[in-house]
Amino acid sequence: MASSVTQSAPPPNVARALAACPDGAAKTLSALRDLIFETADALPEVGPLTETLKWGEPAYLTEKTKSGTTLRLGWDEAGTRISLYVHCQTTLISEWRDRYPDKLTFVGNREVQISTQHALPRAALQHCIAMALTYHSRKTKR
């Protein structure tokens, strides 16, 4: 069951999924989760996030305001990479690829891969997260 949260403990099903994350990726994944909530909290139009599971992975929805597209987190089995996913039919990855070709690693039209061996590229990721959390509201303003 999903619940609306403001960076509190994740719902039990999400907590179990996060606990399954390899040790090498857990710290980076936690930092990215925190950044998602920090970014949402700084954007009043986003409202509370719903933290749930999509395809067995942690996902963050703007369910109340419908301002954005879903963000989903994943990781590789070795714990060397985590992933930030968006819906493949958005233009987000294309926009991010144009803005951050040297700061972020993109896979296809739905994924940003992040190494767990380096510091999180916070500024670039925060901007990308903000764009995702406001994707639908920005589209209607165009």
CATH number of the domain that residue 102 is part of: 3.90.1150.200
Q: What is the mean pLDDT of residues 77-90?
A: 96
Mean pLDDT of the chain: 93
Residue 128 lies in a domain: yes
Residue 10 lies in a domain: no
Q: Give the list of residues 6+ apart from residue 21 with CB closer than 8 angstroms, or none.
A: 29, 75, 79
Residue 87 lies in a domain: yes
Residue with tokens 């039919």: 89
pLDDT at 30: 95
Tell me how far apart the alpha carbons of residues 80 and 32 are, in angstroms, rounded to a whole number: 14
Q: What angle do CA 140, 1, 72 make, to 5 degrees?
A: 50
Beta strands 111-115 and 71-75: pairing type? unpaired
**What is the extent of the structural domain holding 124?**
23-141
CA nearest to 75, candidates 36, 106, 116? 116
Q: Is 40 helix (H, G, I), strand (E, B) or coil?
A: helix
Residue 14 lies in a domain: no
pLDDT at 2: 46
pTM (predicted TM-score): 0.92
Tell me how far apart the alpha carbons of residues 125 and 96 are, in angstroms, rounded to a whole number: 9
Dump strand ranges (E) for 1-142.
3-5, 49-54, 57-61, 71-75, 81-85, 105-107, 111-115
Residue 136 lies in a domain: yes
User: Which amino acid type is present at position 35?
Assistant: L
pLDDT band at 3 (very low <50, low <70, confident <90, very high): very low
Q: What is the mean pLDDT of residues 93-116?
A: 97
Residue 61 lies in a domain: yes
Number of structural domains the chain divides into = 1
Burial 16-54 (b: 16+ CB within 10 A, else e): ebbeebeebbbebbebbbebbbebbeebeebbbbbbbbe
Residue 17 lies in a domain: no
